[in-house]
Amino acid sequence: MKRIRIVWCVLAALVLVLGLLPAQVPFLSSLKVQAAGTTYYVDSVGGSDSNNGTSSSTPWQTLTKVNSNTFVAGDKILFKAGSSWTGQLAPQGSGNSVSPIIIDMYGSGNKPIINSDGTVTATLYLHNQQYWEINNLEITNLTNGTTMARRGINVTAQDAGTVNHIYVQNTYVHDVNGDLSTTAIAKTSGGIFFEVTGSTVQTYFNDIQISNNTIKNIDGVGIETKSSSSKATGVLVQNNYLEKCAKDGMIIRETQNALVQYNTINNSATKLNGAGAWPWNSDNTVFQFNEAYNTVLVSGGFDGAGFDADYNCNGTVFQYNYSHDNQGAAFEIMRKYNKDVTIRYNISQNDAAFLNYGFPDTNVTNAQVYNNVFYTKSGINPKIIVSNSAIATTFSNNIFDVQGTASWGSGIGSTSSLTNNIFYGGITPKGTNYLTSDPLFVNPGNGSTGIHTVDGYQLRTGSPALSSGVLISNNGGQDYWGNSVSSSTAPNIGAYNGAGR
């Protein structure tokens, strides 16, 4: 009996101590314990909707069964590798900040395929739901002969306040056939689409991640965000590969502080006027370490650019990007309510133009274009600036190496300036303090596919570009290769700021 009393006393003491711990040890009070949730399995061949679905030996079979259930925080919905379904996946419910609901695959083999066969707008659809993570699916939305807007993955919100934490990762979205009857309608079709509608309750997405996806053969736009209400926050778009989008590769609309990086955008605007990647009505969007190439300039079109700073934007930054073999310009700046555009430390190889100013508005303020490389091989006769006038732009420390013959637009504009640039080859220099000697690149024109294939644009020892640039305030601190750029010492001209090689 004495031993029993001792055991009970110890247990009571433990309960008391544990009860006090959160108050006495603050860091423990902030720990989050993930809810276990339930894991559900779905097998299109070996499953049955009469099963409980809670083990790989008793899986569900149909999308109808999945869609009829409301899932909760911590739940997982796993689709069997190698299986396929026809129809729409529209699961219900929301997770929470501790435990999102996760869609993924189980088993080994190919990603599970879901094809809505063109019968609905979206193959995978979430509406006014939050805390979801979508992984490792193959999504397609092939036409059934009718014309309509179609999307692969469609996440929407309407009059819902803040909609948090939607991640789309490692998916393969392809062959989405949409309506291309007009440019405006084409923008409503796409591969991965986030959209806010309604105006009764201010609504926006927060914490969106679109990462490591492959998106091919899309009628419309590969990746798009859009809102009729408030701007999305916490948007990260990275490590995606996009190929053959009929209009644009990606449009980052209505966002604040979005980061778009390490994406590869190949062969955009195959059927309609468009560009590789651009923001619209967004603030402080950063595009970095992206590659855009083979963008098409459609007959009678205007764009065909790798990258574009578009309407109603503030503080757009394009840095450390590689643009090549585009039929339009490397970069565009649309001249309508576009403030503080920065284009720096980028490399353009064999693009048909360097910079294109779109539309005859005059509301561009404080655009800076500095420390870029623009190179074209023999046989390409590029336009350096496509515009009647380049509005309020400073061009500094850029290298223009033209092996063919280049031409300028009809005017640069009285509010623009060019200083400390190198013009080499078949190009007429403009501005002040310019150089016309060979920049002595290591191996110009040798870039291939991949942002790490352009070391040929580093500078050789003896290059006139070394330490010949003008100081730029708030210069980003590093060049294309990660070399530091001083705020007090004259930089190199071009995208490389290291020592001569």
Measured distance CA(338)–CA(315) in Å, rounded: 8
Measured distance CA(288)–CA(128) in Å, rounded: 31
Measured distance CA(466)–CA(110) in Å, rounded: 51
Rounded average pLDDT over 122-147? 91
How sure is the predictor about 14, in pLDDT bands with cuts at 50, 70 and 90?
Answer: very low
In residues, how long is the chain?
501
Q: What is the pLDDT of residues 232-246, one digit of tens each?
A: 999 999 999 999 999
Rounded average pLDDT over 487-493? 97
Average pLDDT taken over every residue of the chain = 90
For residue 154, count other CB atoms closer than 10 A to its CB: 24
**Degrees to nearest 5, angle at CA 196 with 194 and 200:** 170
pLDDT of residue 73: 98
How sure is the predictor about 145, in pLDDT bands with cuts at 50, 70 and 90?
Answer: low
Q: Are 318 and 287 in contact (CB under 8 A)?
A: yes
Task: Answer yes or no: is pLDDT of 90 > 70.
Answer: yes
Measured distance CA(406)–CA(419) in Å, rounded: 19
Would 81 be classed as within a structural domain?
yes
Q: What is the pLDDT of residues 171-196, one digit of tens each?
A: 999 999 988 888 888 889 999 999 99
Would 154 be classed as within a structural domain?
yes
pLDDT of residue 182: 82
How sure is the predictor about 21, in pLDDT bands with cuts at 50, 70 and 90?
Answer: very low
Classify residue 1 by burial, with Cβ atoms within 10 Å: 0-12, 13-18, 19+.
exposed
Q: What is the pLDDT of residues 289-318, one digit of tens each?
A: 999 999 999 887 789 999 999 989 999 999
Q: Which residues pair with 299 in a beta bridge?
A: none
Measured distance CA(352)–CA(407) in Å, rounded: 11
DSSP one-letter code for 231: P
Would 59 be classed as within a structural domain?
yes
pLDDT of residue 259: 98
DSSP one-letter code for 431: S
Rounded average pLDDT over 444-456? 98
Would 422 be classed as within a structural domain?
no
pLDDT of residue 18: 41
Task: Answer yes or no: is pLDDT of 99 > 60.
Answer: yes
Would 105 be classed as within a structural domain?
yes
Would 136 be classed as within a structural domain?
yes
Q: Which of 239, 278, 293, 230 is nearest to 262 (CA)?
A: 239
* Token reading at 182: 């007009």
pLDDT of residue 390: 57
Burial 483-496 (b: 16+ CB within 10 A, else e): bebeeeeebbbbbb
pLDDT of residue 380: 95
Task: Give the number of domains in the chain.
Answer: 1
Could you please report the per-residue DSSP string of 265-311?
EEEE-SSSS--SEEEES-BS-EEES-EEE-----TT-S---SEEE-T
Would 285 be classed as within a structural domain?
no
How sure is the predictor about 393, in pLDDT bands with cuts at 50, 70 and 90?
Answer: confident
How sure is the predictor about 26, in pLDDT bands with cuts at 50, 70 and 90?
Answer: very low
How sure is the predictor about 363, in pLDDT bands with cuts at 50, 70 and 90?
Answer: low
Rounded average pLDDT over 48-57? 98
Measured distance CA(178)–CA(143) in Å, rounded: 8
Of 17-26, 209-218, 279-288, give the lowest mean pLDDT range.
Answer: 17-26
pLDDT of residue 366: 85
Q: What is the pLDDT of residues 153-168, one digit of tens each?
A: 999 999 999 999 999 9
pLDDT of residue 300: 75
* Token reading at 183: 């440019």
Measured distance CA(341)–CA(290) in Å, rounded: 17
Quick one: what percent of the chain has pLDDT higher than 70? 89
Task: Answer yes or no: is pLDDT of 4 > 90.
Answer: no
pLDDT of residue 44: 98
Quick one: what percent of the chain has pLDDT higher than 90? 78
Would 15 be classed as within a structural domain?
no
Domain that holds residue 68: 36-205
Task: Answer yes or no: is pLDDT of 362 > 90.
Answer: no
How sure is the predictor about 359, in pLDDT bands with cuts at 50, 70 and 90?
Answer: low
Q: Which of 220, 221, 227, 276 is nearest to 256 (CA)?
A: 227
Could you please report the per-residue DSSP string of 119-171?
SSSEEEEEES--SEEEES-EEEE---S-----EEEEEEEES-SEEEEEEEES-
How sure is the predictor about 15, in pLDDT bands with cuts at 50, 70 and 90?
Answer: very low
